């Protein structure tokens, strides 16, 4: 049994606490929370800073880890996508080394669970080692509705392979500009039948909405450069969110990733339509690619569940949820640390369906424990903080 204490403890499901001790079993289970005065100093494992549960990264692409520092920053989404398409192929050994480093980096940064996008089986061996809980989203894309059966067949093959590796997995759609409504329907049905969550990149740039509203702009240019015909695509004349969300099953937890251009209206409309919606922000990747952030301060008042992702090392300098929170607080100093910590722990765990184990210091859970050193103990500002994993 360990008796762990620090200047402050964020249990997440209740208010921050001072002068308290976490009672932890040898295998990391929360046994209880007691008053610090019930122990002698010698019985305590004492840390400076704040204790928080293990962090949940709800959006990553482990298999793009070898693309770290390969692309220039702030070029916009379409240029970024072209670069990824051109440079993602690499020697498998090089990819494996980069993924192992990325996995170890996340572990060290106190991340206990990851929602990870896969287009191939490349990352499955690493994920099967289980030092981090991974949920794999097998990502499908094709804007051609006539290809939907072939694409789904490939998706089912990847799902079967994931099962072979003993890893959790479900299907996901890539992004509004790269899928057909038919494909979204099939993915949604598959997730419903398997009772698994799904995700899609959403409202990532103005180019995305221009493509949906007028069929023109940079996304059309992307297809031209990739030599993919757009004969079957008819612009729906509605935003990407309005066009696609109705085809996602309302009973299935659905994560919208990025939401960079989401408006109040988008948030209210989507929340009314879909009761199991989660909104993921990846601020450092947004700054890297588009040099702009979603209006998180506005959105937090209009949506129920926010989660945090790092996106991949192709568009981020590190895989650290704490660094994402620091970026949010730098741009929106009004956003309080206890709110952000709830997004980065409990709500991520809820989305992945693992909140019986992860996400808070409730008795019986094995959530992992981190200490945030350098947190301001008066207003909880994270600006000069760093994270250390204890369990
Ligand atoms: Zn992504």
Condensed to tens digits (0 to 9), the pLDDT of residues 280-321 reads 999 999 999 999 999 999 999 999 999 999 999 999 999 999
C-alpha 309 – ligand 1 centre gap (Å): 9
Query: Residue 232: which pLDDT band, with cuts at 50, 70 and 90?
Result: confident
What distance in Å separates the CA atoms of residue 378 and residue 384, rounded to the nearest whole number? 14
Span of 116-125, 228-237, 375-384 with lowest mean pLDDT = 228-237
What distance in Å separates the CA atoms of residue 347 and residue 56, rounded to the nearest whole number? 8
Res 90 pLDDT > 90: no
Query: Residue 87: which pLDDT band, with cuts at 50, 70 and 90?
Result: confident
- Output the pLDDT for position 86: 84
Span of 84-98, 137-151, 154-168, 363-377 with lowest mean pLDDT = 84-98
- Output the pLDDT for position 245: 98
C-alpha 333 – ligand 1 centre gap (Å): 26
Q: What is the DSSP letter of 54?
A: P
Report the mean per-residue pLDDT for the chain.
Answer: 97
What distance in Å separates the CA atoms of residue 106 and residue 319, rounded to the nearest whole number? 6
Structural contact between residues 192 and 252, judged by C-beta atoms closer than 8 angstroms: yes
C-alpha 154 – ligand 1 centre gap (Å): 20
**Burial label, 60 (beta-carbon count in 10 A; 0-12, 13-18, 19+):** buried
C-alpha 285 – ligand 1 centre gap (Å): 9
- pLDDT digit string (tens) for 22-54? 999 999 999 999 999 999 999 999 999 999 999
C-alpha 61 – ligand 1 centre gap (Å): 6
- Output the pLDDT for position 88: 86
206 sits in the region (left: phi over 0; alpha: psi -120 to 50; else beta) called: alpha
Pick 381 or 89 by higher pLDDT.
Answer: 381
Structural contact between residues 255 and 58, judged by C-beta atoms closer than 8 angstroms: yes
C-alpha 353 – ligand 1 centre gap (Å): 20
Phi, psi (degrees; rounded to nearest 5) at 84: -60, -45
pTM for the whole structure:
0.98
C-alpha 116 – ligand 1 centre gap (Å): 9
C-alpha 220 – ligand 1 centre gap (Å): 20
Q: What share of the chain is helix, strand, coil (3-state, %, to 5)?
A: 40, 20, 40
What distance in Å separates the CA atoms of residue 328 and residue 336, rounded to the nearest whole number? 10
What distance in Å separates the CA atoms of residue 239 and residue 244, rounded to the nearest whole number? 9
C-alpha 30 – ligand 1 centre gap (Å): 33
- Output the pLDDT for position 234: 92
- Output the pLDDT for position 163: 96
Structural contact between residues 281 and 324, judged by C-beta atoms closer than 8 angstroms: yes
Q: Is the Cα torsion angle 64, 70, 71, 73 positive or negative in sign?
A: positive
C-alpha 242 – ligand 1 centre gap (Å): 20
Pick 88 or 201 by higher pLDDT.
Answer: 201
C-alpha 60 – ligand 1 centre gap (Å): 6
**Burial label, 381 (beta-carbon count in 10 A; 0-12, 13-18, 19+):** middle
CA atoms within 13 A on the CB side of 215: 9
Cβ contacts of residue 40 below 8 Å, gap of 6+? Answer: none
Q: What is the DSSP letter of 131?
A: S
Res 130 pLDDT > 90: no
- The closest of 109, 113, 108, 105 to 130, measured between CA atoms, is 113
Query: Residue 143: which pLDDT band, with cuts at 50, 70 and 90?
Result: very high
Q: What mean pLDDT is predicted for residues 141-158?
A: 97
All domains in the chain, ordered by first residue: 2-52+366-389 (2.30.40.10), 55-352 (3.20.20.140)
Query: Residue 218: which pLDDT band, with cuts at 50, 70 and 90?
Result: very high
Per the listing, tokens 């402050």 go with 8
Q: What mean pLDDT is predicted for residues 126-148?
A: 96
Q: What mean pLDDT is predicted for residues 222-247?
A: 94
- pLDDT digit string (tens) for 332-362? 999 999 999 999 999 999 999 999 999 999 9
List helix spans (H) across the chain.
Answer: 77-87, 92-108, 124-127, 148-164, 181-194, 206-214, 218-226, 240-244, 264-273, 283-289, 296-299, 321-331, 337-342, 348-352
H or E segment at 138?
Answer: strand 133-140
Res 276 pLDDT > 90: yes
Q: Quote the percentage of the chain above a pLDDT of 70.
A: 100
């Amino acid at each position: 049994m360990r008796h762990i204490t620090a200047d402050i403890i964020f249990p997440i499901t209740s208010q921050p606490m001072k002068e308290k001790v976490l009672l932890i079993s040898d295998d990391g289970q929360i046994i209880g929370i007691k008053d610090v005065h019930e122990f002698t100093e010698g019985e305590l494992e004492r840390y400076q800073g704040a204790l928080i549960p293990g962090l949940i990264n709800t959006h990553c692409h482990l298999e793009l880890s070898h693309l770290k520092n390969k692309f220039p920053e702030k070029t916009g989404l379409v240029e970024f996508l072209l670069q990824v398409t051109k440079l993602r192929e690499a020697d498998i050994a090089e990819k494996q080394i980069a993924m192992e480093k990325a996995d170890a980096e996340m572990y060290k940064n106190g991340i206990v669970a990851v929602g990870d996008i896969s287009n191939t089986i490349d990352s499955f061996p690493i994920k099967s080692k289980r030092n981090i809980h991974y949920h794999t989203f097998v990502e499908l894309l094709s804007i051609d509705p006539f290809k939907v059966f072939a694409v789904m067949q490939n998706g089912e093959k990847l799902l079967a392979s994931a099962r072979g590796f003993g890893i959790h997995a479900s299907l996901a759609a890539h992004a509004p500009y790269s899928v057909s409504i038919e494909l979204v329907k099939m993915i949604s049905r598959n997730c419903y039948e398997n009772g698994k969550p799904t995700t899609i990149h959403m409202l990532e740039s103005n180019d995305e909405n221009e493509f949906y509203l007028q069929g023109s702009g940079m996304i059309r240019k992307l297809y031209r450069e990739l030599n993919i015909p757009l004969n079957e695509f008819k612009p729906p004349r509605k935003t990407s969110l309005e066009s696609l969300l109705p085809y996602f099953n309302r009973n299935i937890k659905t994560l919208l990733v990025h939401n960079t251009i989401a408006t109040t209206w988008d948030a209210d409309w989507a929340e009314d339509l879909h009761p199991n919606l989660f909104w993921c922000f990846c601020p450092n990747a947004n700054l890297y690619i588009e040099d702009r952030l979603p209006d998180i301060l506005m959105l937090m008042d209009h949506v129920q569940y926010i989660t945090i992702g790092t996106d991949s090392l192709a568009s981020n300098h590190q895989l650290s949820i704490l660094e994402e929170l620091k970026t949010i607080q730098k741009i929106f100093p009004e956003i309080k640390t206890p709110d952000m910590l709830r997004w980065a722990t409990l709500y991520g765990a809820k989305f992945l369906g693992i909140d019986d184990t992860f996400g808070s210091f409730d008795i019986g859970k094995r959530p992992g424990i981190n200490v945030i050193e350098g947190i301001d103990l008066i207003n909880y500002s994270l600006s000069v903080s760093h994270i250390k994993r204890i369990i």
